[in-house]
């Protein structure tokens, strides 16, 4: 049993973390939640009755019984909170983006190694149903050598926020970190990255659309987001030397969570969409195959972290993967857009 605590009690904690960890009572016990602006009406809900709420951060960092701290605050505070918790001997799980820069991430990884601790980004969308289904299609080998993957994470939200924000509040850091991480998990570190970030709805706001291409020796991965897409594009399209794969809709866990349907409840994340794979088999015959969705489960982040902390298994997101994703994110703002850059293959 791992005693854990949360820093932050907003949407991230209540939607993407606590519903999954609270149903893993054999592995985790949520002991304390720190929230500078107490939400007494939410705290009073039945599922939180066994948890201590506090507006004193020291109640977490000075509690020797707490082994893991999960940071669910605004991105500009992630580094400071994570470093503080590591310095006090806590393992740390950090919401996305892990840090503002790869330099900050390197500092945290070095400190964790020095202390014999684990610090990890929270990349829950590695466990999206749509992504896992695509991975299964590629792993089957039926598509041949993969030449192109296209990933869309789109909305139709024509009304832009009129209040300017930082780049943390834009689509690239908010959504690109998911879609880029999925490609890194699948293909590793690219050789080059082509950037095109846009402000389609309000030129005074952070970016709200992007078309970014990750170039590998024989594969191109395209990650796209826009808030002006009324007719959705496929979530994933894959083309290979023997065939293609297509899956339209995104994982439905978030839809269930918004509707108040929790993990372990009937119908949670129910996904009956069948992806399509069409390919040439070994006999030269064209085969059209429907694929049942692979179940998604964001709680698998916690399952993987448990195995790391208890059994010493490698973390589900490697340091190299985390640093690659952050490097790709931050470099988007270091040159005019559009642009193409070459990545160094070595990571410090």
pLDDT-based confidence at residue 344 (cuts at 50, 70, 90): confident
- Dist CA 31 CA 307 (whole Å): 20
**Does residue 235 contact residue 246 with C-beta atoms inside 8 Å?**
no
- What is the structure's pLDDT at 163? 72
Q: What is the pLDDT of residues 146-189, one digit of tens each?
A: 999 999 999 999 998 777 778 888 999 999 999 999 999 999 99
**Does residue 5 contact residue 32 with C-beta atoms inside 8 Å?**
yes
- Mapped onto helix, strand or coil, the DSSP state of residue 333 is coil
The alpha carbon torsion through 166, 168, 170, 174 (nearest 10 deg) reads: -170
- Dist CA 232 CA 58 (whole Å): 47
Residue scoring higher pLDDT (346 or 16)? 16
**Does residue 22 contact residue 50 with C-beta atoms inside 8 Å?**
no
- What is the structure's pLDDT at 347? 59
**Statement: residue 325 has pLDDT above 90:** yes
**Does residue 129 contact residue 296 with C-beta atoms inside 8 Å?**
yes
Q: At what angle do helices 102-115 and 78-87 cross, to 10 degrees?
A: 10
- What is the structure's pLDDT at 74? 92
- Dist CA 171 CA 258 (whole Å): 20
Question: Residue 119's closest CA among 131, 107, 128?
Answer: 107
pLDDT-based confidence at residue 346 (cuts at 50, 70, 90): low
**Statement: residue 137 has pLDDT above 90:** yes
- Dist CA 71 CA 90 (whole Å): 12
**Does residue 290 contact residue 308 with C-beta atoms inside 8 Å?**
no
Mean pLDDT of 280-294: 96
| Residue 318 backbone phi and psi in degrees, to 5 | -75, 160
Mean pLDDT of 95-100: 95
- Dist CA 269 CA 130 (whole Å): 11
Express as a percent the part of the chain with pLDDT over 70: 99
The alpha carbon torsion through 172, 152, 179, 141 (nearest 10 deg) reads: -160
Q: What is the pLDDT of residues 213-244, one digit of tens each?
A: 999 999 999 999 999 999 999 999 999 999 99
Exposure of 149 in the CB half-sphere (CA atoms within 13 A) = 24
β-pairing, 28-34 vs 2-7, is: parallel
Domains of the chain are 2-122 (3.40.50.720), 126-299+328-342 (3.30.360.10)
**Which of the residue ranges 83-92, 198-207, 332-341 would you say has the lowest mean pLDDT?**
332-341
Model pTM greater than 0.85? yes
**Statement: residue 348 has pLDDT above 50:** no
Q: What is the pLDDT of residues 25-39, one digit of tens each?
A: 999 999 999 998 888
The overall average pLDDT reported for the chain is 94
Mean pLDDT of 289-302: 96
pLDDT-based confidence at residue 301 (cuts at 50, 70, 90): very high
**Does residue 289 contact residue 275 with C-beta atoms inside 8 Å?**
no
Cis peptide bond prior to 338, omega within 30° of 0: yes
- Dist CA 132 CA 190 (whole Å): 21
**Which of the residue ranges 3-7, 27-31, 155-159, 341-345 would you say has the lowest mean pLDDT?**
341-345
- Mapped onto helix, strand or coil, the DSSP state of residue 105 is helix
């Amino acid at each position: 049993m791992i005693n854990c605590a949360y820093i932050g009690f907003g949407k991230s904690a209540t939607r993407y973390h606590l519903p999954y960890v609270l149903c893993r009572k054999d592995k985790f016990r949520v002991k304390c939640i720190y929230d500078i602006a107490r939400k007494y009406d939410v705290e009073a809900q039945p599922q939180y009755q066994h948890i201590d709420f506090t507006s004193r951060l020291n109640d977490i960092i000075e509690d020797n019984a707490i082994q893991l701290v999960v940071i669910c605050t605004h991105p500009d505070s992630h580094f400071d909170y994570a470093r503080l918790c590591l310095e006090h001997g806590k393992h740390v799980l950090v919401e996305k983006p892990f840090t503002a820069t790869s330099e900050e991430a390197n500092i945290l990884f070095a400190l964790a190694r020095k202390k014999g601790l684990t610090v990890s980004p929270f990349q829950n969308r590695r466990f999206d149903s749509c992504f896992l289904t695509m991975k299964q299609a590629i792993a089957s080998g039926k598509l041949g050598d993969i030449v192109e993957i296209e990933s869309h994470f789109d909305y139709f939200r024509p009304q832009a926020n009129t209040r300017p924000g930082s780049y943390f509040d834009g689509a690239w850091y908010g959504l690109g970190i998911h879609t880029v991480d999925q490609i890194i998990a699948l293909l590793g570190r690219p050789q080059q990255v082509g950037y095109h970030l846009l402000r389609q709805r309000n030129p005074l706001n952070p970016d709200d659309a992007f078309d970014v291409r990750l170039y590998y020796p024989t594969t191109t991965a395209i990650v796209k987001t826009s808030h002006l897409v009324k007719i959705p594009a496929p979530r994933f399209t894959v083309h290979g030397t023997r065939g293609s794969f297509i899956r339209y809709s995104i994982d439905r866990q978030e839809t269930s969570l918004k509707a108040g349907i929790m993990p372990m409840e009937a119908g949670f994340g129910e996904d009956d969409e069948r992806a399509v794979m069409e390919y040439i088999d070994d006999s030269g015959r064209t085969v059209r195959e429907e694929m049942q969705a692979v179940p998604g489960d964001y709680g698998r982040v916690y399952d993987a972290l448990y195995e790391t902390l208890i059994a010493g298994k490698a973390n589900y997101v490697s340091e190299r993967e985390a640093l690659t994703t952050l490097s790709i994110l931050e470099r988007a703002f270091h040159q005019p857009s559009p642009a193409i850059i070459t990545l160094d293959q070595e990571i410090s």
